[in-house]
């Protein structure tokens, strides 16, 4: 246990040191995020923090792979993450086409599937579907592509994506420890540690952003760990999505609303609920602290749902959905009041 804590601490420290190095104006890798119509920041800010996260993770995972002699460590997840990080780093520098990015993301998802990581077991509480491998493959690929991109969509506020990674993967680690799965728990904890080292410099006011190299890699890892955890009997995929539901719900609902209105869903915008809270005057720090509270609540709910019976799990899911609906309605109402005040 002590050796695991030391190892994880070293990874967190490595991520912090690398992030600090990338923050410096004289860093050899210097890419600035220029404010645009989607941005909530107003001045150019480095967007290379994802490099620190990825390098720290890959160092940690290579050590784990070597120490387990590649017998138990999910090397296909590592390879998929490397592919995602590589194309994202190129995109951060050269603005690659969406089609090329999607093709590479598809390749990473298929690498994971080739390693046997497929959605299986409960798709919802008490519900299991017997479907062919081909159907499971399609479902797995679509889920992976969506989580990669939604995490990228949600990386638009200081401390937000990093905080979700710390809380989300920290919760997965706790679930793994509860099942006695040291490898899964330790691997999830390395993601938590790498994100925490970066978050030290990303918390409002942010000195650096993670960029696509960080957000898309973390999104891929959400999918990978959800499926891996399901295979190991730690938690079904749907329970992992409950943990990350603050991102999943906001991104999915916003995308569907924009598509329904005929708006180009691929175009930059500021209509996510967290962005709207900032624009209502909450600011980055207050908004992200409230979001952290929601994330922790979802983590606690997932922990309770893990040991609950099917009926209770459905009641909890409905309560969670109701909470999100009430929160969305409150934001809509506040915006209407603000519009009315402005017109008067």
Q: Which of 300, 79, 254, 81 is nearest to 153 (CA)?
A: 254
pLDDT higher than threshold 50 for residue 105: yes
Share of the chain above pLDDT 90, in %: 59
Phi-psi region at 74: left, alpha or beta (left = phi > 0; alpha = psi -120 to 50): beta
Task: Give the whole-angstrom CA distance, residue 292 versus residue 287.
Answer: 9
Q: Name 55's Cβ contacts closer than 8 Å, sequence gap at least 6.
A: 14, 18
Of the pLDDT bands very low, low, confident and very high (cuts 50, 70, 90), residue 316 is very high
Q: Name 54's Cβ contacts closer than 8 Å, sequence gap at least 6.
A: 81, 85, 213, 214, 217
DSSP state of 125: T
pLDDT, averaged across the chain: 88
| Residue for token pair 């209770």 | 312
CA 8, distance to chain mean position in Å, is 19
pLDDT higher than threshold 60 for residue 341: no
**Cα maximum dimension of the chain:** 70
Q: Which of 258, 288, 283, 286 is nearest to 272 (CA)?
A: 258
Burial of 178 per CB tally in 10 Å (0-12, 13-18, 19+): middle
Of the pLDDT bands very low, low, confident and very high (cuts 50, 70, 90), residue 264 is confident
pLDDT tens digit string along 26-58? 777 776 666 665 655 557 788 889 999 999 998
The encoded tokens of residue 39 equal 């941005």
State whether residue 127 is helix, strand or coil.
strand
Task: Give the whole-angstrom CA distance, residue 299 versus residue 171.
Answer: 6
Enumerate helices (H) and strands (E) in the chain, giving the number of each: 13, 4
pTM score, two decimals? 0.92
Q: What one-character-per-residue DSSP string does 54-67 give?
A: HHHHHHHHHHHHHH
Residue 47 and residue 31 in contact, taking contact as beta carbons nearer than 8 Å: yes
- In what helix (H) or strand (E) does residue 328 lie, and over which residues does it extend? helix 310-343
Of the pLDDT bands very low, low, confident and very high (cuts 50, 70, 90), residue 179 is very high
How crowded is residue 244: how many other Cβ atoms within 10 Å of its Cβ? Answer: 30
Task: Give the whole-angstrom CA distance, residue 156 versus residue 149.
Answer: 13
Residue 246 and residue 166 in contact, taking contact as beta carbons nearer than 8 Å: no
State whether residue 173 is helix, strand or coil.
helix
The encoded tokens of residue 253 equal 């609902």
Pairing outcome for strands 127-128 and 122-124: antiparallel
* Model pLDDT, residue 159: 92
DSSP state of 206: P
Residue 33 and residue 209 in contact, taking contact as beta carbons nearer than 8 Å: yes
Q: Name 295's Cβ contacts closer than 8 Å, sequence gap at least 6.
A: 163, 164, 167, 168, 246
């Amino acid at each position: 246990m002590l050796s695991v804590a030391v190892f994880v601490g070293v990874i967190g420290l490595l991520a912090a040191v690398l992030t600090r190095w990338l923050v410096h104006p004289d860093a050899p890798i210097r890419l600035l995020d220029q404010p645009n119509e989607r941005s909530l920041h107003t001045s150019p800010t480095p967007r290379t923090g994802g490099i620190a996260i990825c390098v720290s993770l890959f160092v940690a995972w290579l050590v784990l792979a070597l120490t387990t002699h590649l017998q138990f460590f999910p090397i296909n997840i590592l390879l998929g993450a490397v592919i995602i990080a590589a194309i994202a780093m190129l995109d951060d520098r050269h603005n690659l086409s969406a089609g090329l990015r999607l093709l590479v993301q598809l390749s990473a998802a298929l690498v994971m599937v080739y390693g046997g990581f497929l959605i299986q077991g409960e798709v919802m509480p008490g519900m299991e579907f017997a479907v062919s491998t081909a159907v499971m493959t399609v479902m797995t690929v679509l889920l992976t592509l969506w989580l990669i991109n939604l995490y990228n969509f949600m990386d638009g506020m200081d401390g937000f994506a990093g905080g979700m990674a710390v809380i989300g993967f920290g919760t997965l680690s706790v679930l793994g420890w509860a099942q006695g799965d040291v490898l899964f728990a330790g691997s999830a904890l390395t993601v938590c540690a790498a994100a925490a080292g970066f978050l030290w410099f990303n918390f409002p006011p942010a000195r650096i952003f993670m960029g696509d190299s960080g957000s898309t890699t973390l999104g891929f890892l959400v999918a990978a760990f959800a499926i891996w955890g399901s295979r190991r009997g730690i938690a079904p995929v749907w329970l992992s999505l409950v943990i990350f539901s603050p991102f999943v719900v906001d991104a999915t609902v916003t995308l569907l609303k924009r598509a329904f209105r005929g708006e180009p869903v691929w175009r930059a915008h500021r209509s996510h609920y967290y962005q709207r809270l900032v624009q209502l005057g909450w600011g980055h720090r207050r908004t992200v602290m409230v979001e952290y509270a929601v994330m922790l609540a979802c983590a606690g709910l997932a922990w309770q749902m893990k040991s609950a019976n099917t009926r209770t799990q459905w009641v909890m899911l409905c309560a969670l959905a109701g909470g999100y609906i009430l929160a969305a309605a409150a934001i809509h109402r506040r915006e209407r009041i603000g519009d009315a005040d402005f017109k008067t």
